Amino acid sequence: MINLDTPKKHRALVDQAHQLAMNMLRPVSRKYEKAEHEYPKELDMLAAMVDGVSDSGATGGAGASGVSRDASTDRADDDGRTRNGANMASALSIAEMCWGDVGLLLSMPRQGLGNSAIASVANAEQRERFAGVWAGMAITEPGVGSDSANISTTAVKDGDEYVINGEKIYVTAGGRCDAVVVWATLDKSKGRAAIKSFVVPKDTPGMRVERLEHKLGIKSSDTATIIFDDCRVPAENLLGSPEVDVKQGFAGAMATFDNTRPLVAAMAVGCARAALDLTRELLAEAGVEVDYDRPGHVQHAAAKTFLDLESDWEGARLLTLQAAWMADNRKPNSLQASMAKAKAGRVGSAVTLGCVELCGAIGYGEGELLEKWARDSKILDIFEGTQQIQQLIIARRVLGLSSAELK
């Protein structure tokens, strides 16, 4: 049974992540937003600290790297006992780091969303070979956004290599990472079953970063357009099995999202909590105390609104922890991962904007970080599957319908 308290084994990790967020991310948050596309050099030291925490083995995993579903450590044993392992550790630590700054977390070396893809799909040899690689994830294409099954980037087998051709857009950390995990089709005529993911190192001939995007939020994180023009990668860089299994369909590639969506939900939870914490303080300074022992309707209108926002946030947090806990205990979590992503993505935007409104001119100005958090949080409702796509996935799971039956 899931315990709603922070697991004892992860409390030190959560405390460390919070200290890093408060003392290292918050102080440079505004600096690197204004210096868009400039690499935050402070992150090199932070990444080394996170590596040390993870390598110690005391945390079960830290950061956004994700874990493999076939890992045997910290999972449910045959005796039925439950475990809080690396998925839970990642979700908790990410939420704390995003209490500091979402864009800076997404800029941390070796903590890219592509790392979660590797952890989800790669075999044991590949996980060892790509250990320590900072991997971005390249899925979206011009004209192909949420419907990942329709990607047109191709990968053609040529001897011991695959030749990749296509264009990917909105690649998080695409200009800074060591490699990108590229989704491409082996045979367009075989539909979604032929879509595979490939690890492509950044110095590979035929791969080039075309441009970096200017964005509404997470400006400290670079977002790239990448072109693949007869880009050759070794066949062993195809993650998982090269076989096209029409019975399995898109399930193998989509398993990546069962790992990454709870992590994105955790980002939204952390960013929203930052806004709530600061708003509570600002309301108190204005003479509005939030009383948790009294019903909202008998309190100040601002206090009631705050309580409504906080209760909505709590629902998102619990769904996020549930999805991570299920992954740690070898339970299928595709439905819960989408539920967590849908709820947290919506709540992240609603809470941060609500806090801006509650704080008025203070919330709207650059004297505080509230307006920045409101802008940063919006992307968390979009990437890794939009709000609308998550609701569609949830409906399919609940009703037991296929993608062809419910579009």
What is the domain count for the chain? 3
Q: What is the reported pLDDT for 97?
A: 95
**Which residues have C-beta within 8 Å of that of residue 337, sequence separation ≥ 6?**
257, 258, 259, 261, 262, 265, 323
Residues 316 and 218 occupy one common structural domain: no
Which of the listed residues 199, 215, 237 is the one where a domain comes to its end?
237
Strand-strand pairing, 195-201 and 223-234: unpaired
Torsion, Cα 382 386 387 392, to 10 degrees, reads 180
pTM of this prediction exceeds 0.85: yes
> Tokens standing for 36?
């868009």
Residue 113 CA to residue 262 CA, distance in Å, equals 11
The answer, yes or no, to whether residue 12 has pLDDT greater than 50, is yes
Q: What is the reported pLDDT for 204?
A: 97
Q: What is the reported pLDDT for 65?
A: 45
In this structure, of 31-35, 323-327, 343-347, 378-382, the range with the lowest mean pLDDT score is: 323-327
pLDDT digits (tens, 9 = 90+) for 395-407: 999 999 988 899 8
User: How far apart, in Å, are the Cα atoms of 172 and each of 94, 212, 315?
Assistant: 16, 10, 28
CB < 8 Å & 24+ apart, contacts of 127-132: 127/68, 130/179, 130/199
The average pLDDT across 120-149 equals 88
Give the model's confidence band at 95: pLDDT under 50 very low, under 70 low, under 90 confident, else very high. very high
Give the model's confidence band at 176: pLDDT under 50 very low, under 70 low, under 90 confident, else very high. very high
Amino acid sitting at position 274 = A
Domain that holds residue 162: 135-237
> 58: domain CATH number?
1.10.540
Helix (H, G, I), strand (E, B) or coil at 76: coil
Helix (H, G, I), strand (E, B) or coil at 104: helix
Residues 195 and 263 occupy one common structural domain: no
> 163: domain CATH number?
2.40.110.10
The answer, yes or no, to whether residue 73 has pLDDT greater than 70, is no
The answer, yes or no, to whether residue 56 has pLDDT greater than 90, is no
The answer, yes or no, to whether residue 362 has pLDDT greater than 80, is yes
Residues 144 and 18 occupy one common structural domain: no
In this structure, how many other beta carbons lie within 10 angstroms of the beta carbon of residue 357? 16
Residue 123 lies in a domain: yes
> 330: domain CATH number?
1.20.140.10
The average pLDDT across 329-345 equals 95
The answer, yes or no, to whether residue 341 has pLDDT greater than 50, is yes
Strand-strand pairing, 154-158 and 161-172: antiparallel
What percent of the chain shows pLDDT beyond 70? 89
| Averaged pLDDT of the chain | 89
Q: Is residue 166 within a helix (H) or strand (E), and if so which, with residue range?
A: strand 161-172
Q: What is the reported pLDDT for 58?
A: 44
Catalytic residue among 167, 310, 368, 384: 384
Q: What is the reported pLDDT for 63?
A: 41
The answer, yes or no, to whether residue 256 has pLDDT greater than 70, is yes
Work out the burial of residue 281: count CB atoms within 10 Å of its CB; fewer than 13 is exposed, 13-18 middle, 19 or more buried. Answer: exposed
Residue 110 lies in a domain: yes
The answer, yes or no, to whether residue 59 has pLDDT greater than 80, is no
Is 384 annotated in the active site?
A: yes
Furthest C-alpha separation in the chain: 73
The answer, yes or no, to whether residue 51 has pLDDT greater than 80, is no
Residue 64 CA to residue 58 CA, distance in Å, equals 17
**Which residues have C-beta within 8 Å of that of residue 121, sequence separation ≥ 6?**
197, 239, 240, 252, 253, 255, 256
DSSP structural state of residue 149? G
